[in-house]
Amino acid sequence: MELTNSYKRIVFVFIGGIMLFVLCGCQSTNYPVDFEQLSEEERIVIRFSHVVGEETPKGLAARKFAQLVKERSGGYVEVQVFPNGFLYKDGEEMEALSNGDVQMIAPATSKVTSLIPEWSVIDLPFAFNSIEEVHDYLAGPVGQELVSKFDSQGLLMLGMWDNGFKQLSNRDYLIRYPEDLQQLKMRIMPSDIIDKQFSIAGAVPMKIDFNVVFQHLENGDIDGQENTLSNITSKNLHLLQNYLTVSNHGYLGYTLLMNKQFWDELPEDVQVLITDTLVEVNEWEWETARKLNDEKLMELEDCHCIDIYHLTSEERQVWEEAFQPVYNYYIKRFGAKYVKSLPKFQENSTYE
């Protein structure tokens, strides 16, 4: 598979950073040959918890990572994947990672904002025009500043996994303009910036765990929601919604995080195994995410089970103008630095 420049850059930046940790001195081991005889205590077990289904970009990549690490270490290193919030739910997994109850998680960047609020720059509506722009932003100096903020939290960011762009859905009517959101109870992820975005449009944003969105839609506690197509379909949310607006108004991706103390205590060859495997898995995940969201759009078009509308570029312009106060709000809280570096504010931007 041909590597894009953006991919090469981001891999270089992440892996370069991680290798610094690898080289700073940790015990070394050779994988025991007869691993089948080892108990769980004798193997290296990495518990990886996440909140989505297995057939999503994150779910599939977590499984692939586990499988490759097992194969390549002859079973000595075992990544145990716990999907669907089975072990820890939204709002619990970050603490579980910090406490060392799990060793790896991959929360959406929006959920990281409770710990590092500056990350909410990624949530700014219409901040990015393509996934490549997100990757470039994070590989650049300001993005790397965001990445390094995990250090002081005792966490190590091992990479960035994509899901895709969020779309809007609603039960009763089509959302075409910001004013269509008036009074709508919309499920959002826990991010102050997303909250602001919906409040400004007159909606009632409701922070609800991903795993219970279906029930809340079913009970009529909420009217609509925003998410990527693979997340929407993985939980059958579209079956409870009649209108889908392909708005691509915000990016949803994941910070792949490991407990730093656990990482530091890993033998050097295991660290190398993990970083090498992730080079491959991260690229695979990006491609899978893109494919899955395209496929899900086709499936939704074919099922005729939801009315699908694509925002025109004129309509998109109206949304962008309406959301300008959200940018002002972010700048007031965190300064202009993170916003000014967004690709849409660069001179050679292709942003419409």
Contact residues for ligand LMR (CB under 6 A)? 51-52, 58, 90, 108, 163, 189, 210, 227, 231
Residue 59 or 269: the one with the smaller Cβ distance to ligand LMR is 59
Question: How far is the first Cα of the chain from the last one, in angstroms, to the nearest whole number?
Answer: 30
Residue 73 or 84: the one with the smaller Cβ distance to ligand LMR is 84
Residue 47 or 58: the one with the smaller Cβ distance to ligand LMR is 58
Least Cα distance to 19 among 339, 234, 275 occurs for: 275
Residue 76 or 210: the one with the smaller Cβ distance to ligand LMR is 210
Q: In whole angstroms, how close is the CB of 246 to ligand LMR at the nearest point? A: 17
- The 10 Å Cβ neighbour count of residue 180 is 18
Q: In whole angstroms, how close is the CB of 156 to ligand LMR at the nearest point? A: 19
Task: Work out the burial of residue 338: count CB atoms within 10 Å of its CB; fewer than 13 is exposed, 13-18 middle, 19 or more buried.
Answer: buried
Q: In whole angstroms, how close is the CB of 7 to ligand LMR at the nearest point? A: 21
Q: In whole angstroms, how close is the CB of 329 to ligand LMR at the nearest point? A: 22
Q: In whole angstroms, how close is the CB of 106 to ligand LMR at the nearest point? A: 7
What is the C-alpha to C-alpha distance for residues 134 and 342, in angstroms, rounded to an integer?
Answer: 9
Q: In whole angstroms, how close is the CB of 300 to ligand LMR at the nearest point? A: 17
**What does each C-alpha distance from 173 to 49, 56, 165, 183, 308 come to in angstroms?**
36, 28, 21, 13, 11
SS3 of 300, please?
helix
Cβ pair 225, 249 in contact under 8 A: no
Ranges assigned E (strand) in the chain: 44-49, 77-82, 104-105, 155-170, 185-188, 204-207, 224-227, 243-259, 307-310
Residue 83 or 343: the one with the smaller Cβ distance to ligand LMR is 83
What is the C-alpha to C-alpha distance for residues 313 and 153, in angstroms, rounded to an integer?
Answer: 41
Residue 118 or 162: the one with the smaller Cβ distance to ligand LMR is 162
Q: In whole angstroms, how close is the CB of 107 to ligand LMR at the nearest point? A: 7
Q: What is the dihedral of CA 266, 272, 273, 279, to 10 degrees?
A: 130
Residue 136 or 226: the one with the smaller Cβ distance to ligand LMR is 226
